[in-house]
Structure 1
Amino acid sequence: AGLGLPLWVDVVVFTVVSLGLVTLARPALKRRMRVGDEVRMHTDALIGGKATVVATTDSQDGRVRIAGELWSARSFDETQVLEEGQEVVVLDIRGATAVVWREPWELPS
């Protein structure tokens, strides 16, 4: 419009540029903005992570520190008694309680 060309030229230029951006630029931007196929959020992001026992933990009660926060916890195995300072792995989050397993760990059979 600033060059004094007819309106139909503006419409054609707009259409060509719009289609070009949708077909060429959009896929590239979409790939760049993708974080990953699966983003774990909330308590799911804690599962598999490490925690430190801050109060003796057994199959009934205990406390652990996960990512700087205190959580109530219990051990996955009824025979495990986890002492303060031990490193554990978070196997599950049930409600507000972390279910943990001692390090080095192997999944129970």
Structure 2
Amino acid sequence: MEAWIAWLLVAALLGIAELLTLTLALGLLAVAALAAGLTGALGLPLGVQVAVFAIGAVAGLVVVRPVANRHIRQPPALRSGTAALVGREALTLTEVSRAGGRARIGGEEWTARPYDPDLVIPAGTPADVLAIEGATALLYPLQERPG
């Protein structure tokens, strides 16, 4: 069997192993083996193929993998949906109590309840949005905040 075929088989096995483990390391080694296989298909000697594999593996594991891992671990740059409302300021449109109420958050009208069920927030009071449960904002009045 020619060396370039063996490199392609190694690349395929490493690629399958990467799909099963999701470590990114085996995938980068598969790319290095593929490069070595292409080098062998061009008719270059085995020593050059091994050198291409070694350079590709080191470059992938030392340079590409840390950069890719850093990007994978980054939190999303922008909160969206209801998560984007948490921490914003609301203005109560009606009295907000355990039974419910209405508040304006970012130009939209929401059903609201106080975060502390014993509180009653009068209409026209600014409040923090502490959480969203379904379609209901849980509010805490700004002037009631300790500190």
| Category of TM-score, reference length = shorter chain | 0.5 to 0.7
By how many angstroms is 1:8 displaced? Answer: 4.3
Q: Does the 8 Å contact 2:101/2:111 carry over to 1?
A: yes
Q: Paired residue for 2:132?
A: 93
- Which of 43, 57, 75 is equivalent to 2:95? 57
Structure (1 or 2) with the greater helix fraction: 2
Counterpart of 1:80 in structure 2: which amino acid? Answer: V
Return 5+ residue gaps in structure 1 as ranges: none
Q: Distance in 2 between matches of 1:26 and 1:104?
A: 50
Q: TM-score, normalised by structure 1?
A: 0.64
- Identify which of structures 1 and 2 has the higher relative contact order when contacts are C-alpha pairs closer than 8 Å and 6+ apart: 1
Q: Root-mean-square deviation (CA), in Å? A: 3.4
After superposition, the Cα gap between the structure-2 partners of 1:33 and 1:67, relative to the gap in structure 1 and judged at 3 Å, is farther
**Once the two structures are aligned, what percentage of the paired residues are identical?**
36
Instruction: Find the residue that maps to 1:91 and give its secondary structure.
Output: strand
By how many angstroms is 1:98 displaced? Answer: 1.3
Q: Does the 8 Å contact 1:57/1:82 carry over to 2?
A: yes
Q: Paired residue for 2:110?
A: 71
Q: Say which one has the larger Rg.
A: 2
Structure (1 or 2) with the greater strand fraction: 1
Q: TM-score, normalised by structure 2?
A: 0.51
How many residues align structurally?
A: 104
After superposition, the Cα gap between the structure-2 partners of 1:105 and 1:11, relative to the gap in structure 1 and judged at 3 Å, is farther
Q: Does the 8 Å contact 2:88/2:128 carry over to 1?
A: yes
1:83 aligns with 2:144: no
